[in-house]
Structure 1
């Protein structure tokens, strides 16, 4: 760990070394590098800032795959084109717009479809060239509302129509909205159910080195809700399938297992984790103050840029033999 600069993971210097080598055009064919971005509605502005910091270090093309859930998936769309500043304005201006976020519209507190179709897929659209023609493969998680199983959509393997429907589906959080997306005759919503921090997908894709960006403070563990919150959650998902309800009830375990993988990695992959230090580094899921959202993006960018800068200094001060190998 690099605790003194608040960078965590199983072998963060090894991951950074691979990123820097790739930036300089030196690519090891035995390495595959992934970027994992957590969302969490407005909280995803932290991973947006972290992605921007990676781009400021010139590391975008060091990654092979980008994996995101909910607003983390939306951040992943803007990363290949170095468009995080544009993405941050969606958080600041559009996600906080009363037409999107309005508690007085309960039970439809969030109108995610309006935000995505009006802004992400139109007026503030990501770069089609970077997303569809670039070398990265972008994966977005969704959940089948009957079976509760995760379905992944790929920028390379799925049709553009279905991939862009998944952009909507992954952000449909059932706790605050009832929107669903029909894709190939099945209905999908929130990718957060099984893959809130989708590091296992990186492992499944054969990644050997993974940068993980959670949007909860380091050391956080997801716990089961109290009785009232549990009753509310059950009411919100009452019309969804039994399989969905079962997976929804187990989401705490899957999230905490992902945190364990992020911290310790495995014999197959190393991790570098850029997590918030404390709750002061993030905004709430339903933050409605544009100024706070903008400040959170700027603070995350600065924090993570400095973290990577300090880690690079550490990397250059140690002999190559201290870097770990997969095997």
Structure 2
């Protein structure tokens, strides 16, 4: 799976809208999306910005990224986040002609029609997250649908004022197994990004080494970098287990889900103290957790506040994993560092 960071566009008030739309259009054109696809992206951006102006007094932000490699993009992803009043009946509000502000009521319906992938999470007092993807050509994008049994979504956002993110994420699927690595390069900016990228390259070259030994290999490979903290995990569909090992403060929680809520207590991911590339414990052991139907794993860097709670979001577990990651990011990012949030969701 190709992993790209998101580019962040803040819209504190409506005067920023035209500039943001212009910059995102240039990005899409730079990734060689066709005029028709850029037109779809323009409609989506326009409607998102219009909704922010009408319904979110404090504005909001857009996160955008290409899905796929730099030279072989499969889709363009747009995420809109706001802390406005939220929507009490999101399904009804997607119907054309339904409006709370006296307009024609075509905004959400227009976004959905132009999108190849669409998801919406909103609830009164909790704000709104919109996820949209426009595919390139006739490609079928499966970047987040890693297998028939697991979905993965993420947000990777640089520290405000930075354009390069020091957090990183890598994912490899081989048969029934999924191997992943979540990273936080020390500090932020170019040097943190170099450490995270070298660690990801080391992992991808030998993804099926068990997590503890994989981290030791990464530690030896990135000794000339600033260093990083990281967590390696393997999800096995056959054994219904997650095997993991972490060094440093990549945090995580494993949740059990049911049809309408997120059960508690959750199980916390436990990592060793240390810094990959500098100092790691002499002994690293793998840990295991049950995996299977109704399980949801969240991993994140310390750009996220530690006291977040999924239980406050009704029915969030039913949504796309990228939407879940975006909701967590929206309400809990410290805004003082790079932020990574990864969500792995077992399909039912």
- Same-fold status (TM-score > 0.5): no
User: What TM-score comes out, normalization by structure 2 length?
Assistant: 0.27
Larger helix fraction of residues: 1
User: What TM-score comes out, normalization by structure 1 length?
Assistant: 0.29
Larger strand fraction of residues: 2
Give 1 or 2 for the bigger CA radius of gyration. Answer: 2
Structure of greater relative contact order (alpha carbons < 8 Å, 6+ residues apart)? 1
